[in-house]
Amino acid sequence: MTYPNLLNRFLVYVKENTRSNPASQTTPSSQNQVDFALNILKPEMERIGLTDVHYIEENGFLIGTLPANDPSFPYKIGFISHMDTADFNAEGVNPQIIEDYDGGHIELGTSGYVLSPDDFSNLNKYQGQTLITTDGTTLLGADDKAGIAEIMTAMEYLIAHPEIKHGEIRVGFGPDEEIGVGADKFDAADFNVDFAYTVDGGPLGELQYETFNAAVAELTFFGRNVHPGTAKDQMISALQLAIDFHNQLPEKDRAEHTEGREGFIHLMDLSGNVEEAKATYIIRDFDDDDFDDRKMLVDRIADHMNVFFGMERVGLEIEDQYYNMKRIIVRDMTPIELAKKAMEKLDITPIIEPIRGGTDGSKISFMGIPTPNLFAGGENMHGRFEYVSLQTMEKAVDTIIGIVSHKD
């Protein structure tokens, strides 16, 4: 189905810079997310007819309700998307609209960059469709403003068509998903649904209920600096300690060598000098036991190095970030079955694969609201080559409406 307001709504959203800030100690991490929630989304939610629209200052979530128009529906269902965009230029987003895409190269404005099927084979799926791209100087922000636009459009359509029966629906738009802390303060009791969906996936048909288990390891290496001309048997280079530590990790377990259900230990950052160096690793695995084994390996290598030196030369802090939401969702597969039925009715083939990452649903599921992930349509996310198909966004709206209106 086509939705007249969907494209314009999306274009308004993406032109607002809502990039999150990992260095911030506030919630949300950037004022522009607050402004987007209060100045753009909240008035629009009220205008289309959502009720109990409220912004929670403690966690940065904007919540609204579409009351049931048929009390016999057995479930209260939520839909969630995040307002922030990733760590790439988000100022001055100037989307291009490519109608009836011909399958060839797309010049991204005057930036000199080209979106080409030679580099991105996923473009081959979209011939004949309407694509929204960047102008090559910014990201697009389909992750996750496509999700927000789809949820808002679905709510608007349901309000305008009361003949479509549904139970109570809650929507939530939150901050800071891209920096991994957005759902930390989520208020599950306030949201008050039986289950929910993050509309934060990629291509058409994605339906995901399994994510990585995730941890971060922060290491500090303590060296001893002396003049390199007299360094023999005296200098201990903190940078060399960091290299020695890294070389003891299995090479096959690096992110660039893994796929599918394979986990990894990935070096994210390394900095320092002879006196002191710091390294940050992320640890990921779908399997609980393998996840624990990876964390123990990092701990064991640090211990062995400290034993060798007879003192602490390697400081280590490991913190779990989120867990595989499959643990929760498999207890009751109702949200998965509902989404599958809605997609199949629309001739969409569900793509049920584990996410090599996490979503806000990873944390919200462990707060008592099972929250799998639905496709929103974005491709090549987090950079200048990001794009989305309008037709896929329309299918996402169709799917949301299909989920809430399905009744066994």
Cα separations in angstroms, 267 against 159, 185, 395: 48, 28, 38
Which residues are bridge partners to 180 per DSSP? Answer: none
Cα separations in angstroms, 348 against 146, 203, 340, 341, 404: 18, 11, 9, 10, 17
What dihedral angle (degrees, nearest 10) is formed by the CA atoms of 261, 263, 269, 275? Answer: -170
Please confirm, yes or no, whether 288 is among the known catalytic residues: no
Please confirm, yes or no, whether 84 is among the known catalytic residues: yes
3-state helix, strand, coil in the chain (%, to 5): 35, 25, 45
Burial of residue 51 (number of CB atoms within 10 Å: 0-12, 13-18, 19+): exposed
Catalytic residue among 143, 156, 177, 200: 177
Question: Which residue in 95, 191, 85, 210 sits closest to 148, CA to CA?
Answer: 85
**Any alpha helices (H) in 41-185, and if so which ranges?**
42-48, 142-160
Which residues touch 139 (CB under 8 Å, ≥6 apart)? 85, 86, 88, 89, 90, 93, 381, 382, 383, 384, 386
Catalytic residue among 16, 84, 156, 394: 84
Strands 195-201 and 77-82: parallel
Catalytic residues, by residue number, are: 84, 177
